[in-house]
Each structure stands twice: as C-alpha cells, then as structure tokens.
Structure 1
C-alpha cells in the first residue's frame, strides 16, 4: 500500500465514521452509535465502495440473519437447553464463516443474529424487534456513509490482499474459542438486555480479535486495547463537554478516527497491529454511545460508565483466561503419546 493510499484510507475512515455519527444522532435513530460501529467495521478493510446491488444484498442478508434470532428467541424461552445449544452452534458456524471464508463482517452479523437477538427475544421480544430495526437502519446509514467517503477520497492503488485463511483445524479451534467467549455475555443479556447489550457487543469484538491473537500475546493485545478504548472514551466525553453539540460530536469523532487510521494503516509508528486499533476505537464508540444514552435518560453517566468499563475488563479477563486454559489443554493433547492399538485376540 502506497503512502497516498494509506492517507486516503485514513481520511476515508474518519469521514465515514464522523458522517455516521452525524446522521445517526441527527436522524434520531434507535441506538445511533451502531451506525458508527458498523461504519468502522465496513470501512476499515474496504477496498471499493459498495454498489446498489451489493447494498440491497447486504441489507436483505442482514434482515434475514437477524430474523433467525426472532425464531430462536421463543425456543430459548420455552426450551432453554435446546435454545442455548442452537445459539452456540450459530456462534460456532458464524466464526467458521468469518475465518475460513474471510468474511469477517458477515460472520459478526450472523453471530448477532444467532446469539444476541435470541437472548434478548427470550426476555423482551419488543426490545429484540426494536434492536433489529435499529441494526438494519444503522447498516443502511453505514453503507451510505461508506459510499460518500469513497466519493470524497477515491482509491488510488490496488486492492489490499485479504489475510490468509487459517488451516481447517485452526479454524475449528478458533470457532470453539469464540463460542466459549460468548457464554458469559449471553447469560448477562438474559438478566438485563438493555444494560448489557454493550457488553455483548464488546464480547463479539473480543471473540474476533482473539481469533488472530495467540495466548501469549492475549494479555497485551486484548487487555490494553480495551483500556485504551475506555481512556479514549473518557477523553472524548470531556472534550465533548466543552461544546455538547452534534457538530462537535462529529468533529471529535473524525479526529479520533483519523488518529486511529494513521496508525491502523501504518502512517505513524506503532507497536500494535491493525486489530488492536480497530478494537480500541470500537470500544470507544460503544462506551460513548452508551454514555450519550444514559445522559439522555437522566442516568448517572459516570457511575454507568464505571460499571460498564468494569464489565468490559471482566469479560476481557475471562477471554484471556479461557484462551490460556484452552491453549494449554490443546498443547497437552498434542504432546500426549498416542494410545497403543488394542491387541486382537486369536481365534
């Protein structure tokens, strides 16, 4: 990737994310921070702008995927064991799709449809329907922002090569890890879907980030990116307090996204990989969106932020411990000598 293309990618990410914030909150969408979150996932790795046919296909696929959750919700409510088994199978399958076929956005959306939506629908079907509507609208806004960003900052170089797919055995192992990572947040959603939704979205990020991080590097990558995202959200909130208007909200979003983009695409020196920066910015957007909602409903923003940050660190710590334990178990199985063949008695 040339320096010019890297700069355009960084500017494209900043413009698309800021525009998503402006449209999401300006149009008063339900859960407007989802528009910026989807924009980050779509734009950070995109090589070209989506055409009309692709936009329609993505929206239809999203609606179909989320509709699966509406079907699984009553099953999870009436038959919890069967419902949880189907949700776990959906997470496993979605992770296989994201890693084996290189379709990370599709895999994440399928995880939402197979895990997050059913857990919410089992407790509050009305909230699940609202969340589906919010996600479809947020995706439409994200795709529109991506088209506008590509029109402003056109691609100048060849498309970046996709990351190599892992071996089938590694893909199965990664899918198993992601399924185990999602167990605690699904349980929390069954307790309070509205409050713990950001925690579930964060866990989805962890499951995807952990798919490319070894157990040895997990503490540094997963934990530090979560802490950095939380610190960035606090700084963003303080800066937004100087002039709490939508225009300044979008402006500061462009600044933070541009800062991330310069390091994400190698324009500025950094010790962290691209996944670290995407995870940190996504954590910032999730926490910031929840804080804006708390402020609008009259809740104590700082108390809710502290609780969510503690939960984020908790699920991150669980992901690290689970990954370490699974890797050790896998290494012991590989090191164990094969069992001797059974002797066949002579007749």
Structure 2
C-alpha cells in the first residue's frame, strides 16, 4: 500500500472516530472537535501517543486559560484588544517558523475561547476540553494507522509550498489584520460569529502560504466548495437520519477530500484548498445539525452563514491585495540611467 493511501485512511478513519466521540458524547459544538482532529490528521508524521496526549492536555489547559481574557474584555476592552493583537502577531510568527499546528490551536484559544466565555463560562471550558479531545483523537488514530500500515522505506514526496516574497513580520501583520476585525465583530454577537472567527483563523493561516495572485481563487472557491460538501453531507444524512449515518457520511466525504489533498486523485487545486474546504464544510454542517434539533430553519441559517463566510473570504482577499499594494507603494523606485 502506498504512503498516500495510508494518509487517506488515517484522515478518513480519524474523521469518523472524531465524529463518533464528539457527537456521541454530546459535547458542546462537537464540529470544532472534528476540526481539531482533522488538523492533527493532516500532519505528515504522526506524534507518539504519549506525546500527543500530553500536547492535547497542555493545549486544553492553555485554552481554558483563555477564559481569563473574559474579565479583561468586559472591563478593559481597549487593553484587551491590544493584548490580543500582540498575541496574534507572535503566534502568526510562530506558525511561519514551522509550528503551524501549535500556532493555529493557540490562536483558536485566544480568539474563540474568550468569545465563548462572554456567552457562558462553562461553554468556553467545554469547548476547550472538546478541542483537546480532538487533538488526542487525531494522535491516537494516526499512531494506530501507523501500526496497521507501516510506512514504506521510501517516503512519498512532499508537495513544496512556495511562500510569498515577504518577510515573516509582514506576513504576520497581514494575518493579524485579517483576523482582528472579524474578532471585534464577534464581540457584538458571540453566538453567531464564533464559527466565523474559526473560519477567519484558518484563512489567515492559508494566506501565509499563498501568493497574492492565488489568494482570491483559493479563499473564495474553497469556501464555496466547503458549502457544496456540507449540502452533500446534509442530503446524505437526510436519507436516514441517525447517528450511524452521520459517522459513515463524515468518513465517506473526508475520504473523498483526503484523496485530493494528498494528490491521489487529479486536482488543479492545492492541498490547502481541500483542507480549508473540509474545515468550511464542518463549520457549516455542525451548526446545521444544532439548528435542526432546535427547530430553526436550517436552510435560511445555513445561507446566512455561507454568505458570511464568503464575505470573510472576500475580506481576506482584499486585505492581501491592499497590503501588497501598500508595500509596493512604499518601495523606492529603481533609478534608471
């Protein structure tokens, strides 16, 4: 079996197990736990189980520490804004130095957890625990698949990602400008904008690995592809609404996405496109299940969320373009003889 096939199996089985645990235990916002597991499963080399569990527990405690930002946001909003911007900048630099997974998870801690804490402290703690659980699930599945299917002696060639020709500090500043306004908007209506903040964090990470000319197509089309995948999941689940069908459809669609992510199936899009599309799908599909359980209009709510995420993608694209033009305008013109 090829290493790419092993990677696809890890992602598909891991997504199914994450859905089984997170939805089976009725955790708050279980789709976020599935997203955390997906992020771990997308990593090339699986962590040892012991190390992965330690990392999951440490990150869980760190995320729970994000609840401490709630009093600061409530009583001292401007210092909280400056402190959050500084942390975002440092974490974006951390991601550009090769620790993208840890940086993304910690970015989630300082953005989503405080906003959830504005709704209810127990909700914030529950989300933090669920995200840590997703990390542990992804680690265990990765190691289990590695035991079942040992890698070949010659590893699969990795896809080289060409970074834009900007300094890490410029890329980090650009990412902060993408995340921070949406985060501020979420303070006005935390319950509605929590998924939008998660989407924005993923977009900020994605723009750091793309050239400006690619950003628009990648961000907008991956968002629309995620919406299409969410519709497929919803119609599949509507055939026989049950917990078993939910897990099976999550496994099936994640396998389809994973084949394109590791390039076993021909695709003109990059791996980051497919990873972002699946995350968008989960962000749309998870709340749709909760809307259905509470008796809300699923299609209207999903259309509003999808429109919001497309607007966020367009905003991220505009930030990249404007930031690039500002940099070009600030450069001295080369003298000609």
Query: How far apart in 1 are the matches of 2:171 and 2:123?
Result: 31
Q: Report the Cα offset of residue 223 of structure 1.
A: 0.6
CA deviation digits over 1:231-251, x for unaligned, max 9?
A: 111121011100111222122
The equivalences for 1:187-202 within 5 A come to: 187-202=184-199
Deviation track 1:190-231 (CA, whole Å, cap 9, x = no partner) reads 122222111111111100111111211111111101000101
d(CA) in 1 for partners of 2:245 and 2:148? 21
Secondary structure in 1 matching 2:241: coil
Query: Aligned in 2, Cα 1:123/1:26: closer, same or farther, shift over 3 Å?
Result: closer
Q: Is the 8 A contact 1:24 1:141 kept in 2?
A: no
Query: Which of 117, 123, 126 pairs up with 1:121?
Result: 117
> For 2:172, what is the secondary structure of its paired residue?
helix
- The 1:140/1:86 distance shift into structure 2, 3 A limit, reads same
Pairwise CA distance, 1:136: 2.7
In the TM superposition, residue 166 of structure 1 has moved relative to its aligned partner by: 6.1
* Equivalent pair of 1:12/1:153 in contact (CA under 8 Å): no
The residue that corresponds to 1:210 in the other structure is 207
Decide whether aligned partners of structure 1 residues 30 and 123 sit closer, same or farther in structure 2, where only a CA change above 3 A counts. closer
**Residue 24 of structure 2 is aligned to residue 14 of structure 1:** no
Partner of 2:287: 290
Matched ranges for 1:139-178 at <5 A = 139-156=135-152, 157-158=154-155, 170-178=167-175
Q: Distance in 1 between matches of 2:225 and 2:218?
A: 11
Task: Give yes or no for the alignment of 1:106 onto 2:102.
Answer: yes
Cα distance change on mapping 1:143 and 1:297 into 2, 3 Å: farther
Rg larger in 1 or in 2? 1
Pairing of 1:42-121 with structure 2 (within 5 A): 42-52=40-50, 54-100=51-97, 102-121=98-117
CA shift in 2, pair 1:203/1:288, >3 Å = same
Of 285-294 and 311-320, the range deviating more from structure 2: 285-294
TM-superposed CA distance for 1:122, in Å, is 4.4
CA distance 1:261–1:123, shift in 2 (3 Å): closer
Root-mean-square deviation (Å): 2.3
**What displacement does 1:187 show?**
2.0
Matched, 1:275 2:272: yes
Report the CA distance between 1:113 and its aligned residue: 1.8
Aligned-pair distance for 1:20?
A: 1.0
Q: 2:214 is paired with a residue of what secondary structure?
A: helix
Match of 1:229 among 223, 226, 229: 226
SS in structure 1 opposite 2:208? Answer: helix
Query: Which sections of structure 1, spanning at least 5 residues, go unmatched?
Result: 339-347
Take 1:305 and 1:285, find their aligned partners in 2: how far apart are those partners?
A: 12
Inter-partner Cα distance in structure 1 for 2:70 and 2:48: 32
Partner of 2:328: 331
Deviation at 1:337, TM superposition (A): 6.9
Structure 2 regions of 5+ residues with no counterpart? none
CA contact (8 A) 2:223 2:309 kept: yes
CA, structure 1 residues 138+253, in 2 after alignment: closer, same or farther (shift >3 Å)?
same
Contact persistence 1:39–1:145 (CA under 8 A): no
Q: Aligned residue for 2:296?
A: 299
User: Pairwise mapping of residues 127-142 of structure 1 onto structure 2 (< 5 A)?
Assistant: 127-142=123-138
Of 147-156 and 280-289, more deviation after overlay is shown by 147-156
Q: Which moved more, 1:125-134 or 1:18-27?
A: 125-134
Q: SS at the partner of 2:139?
A: helix
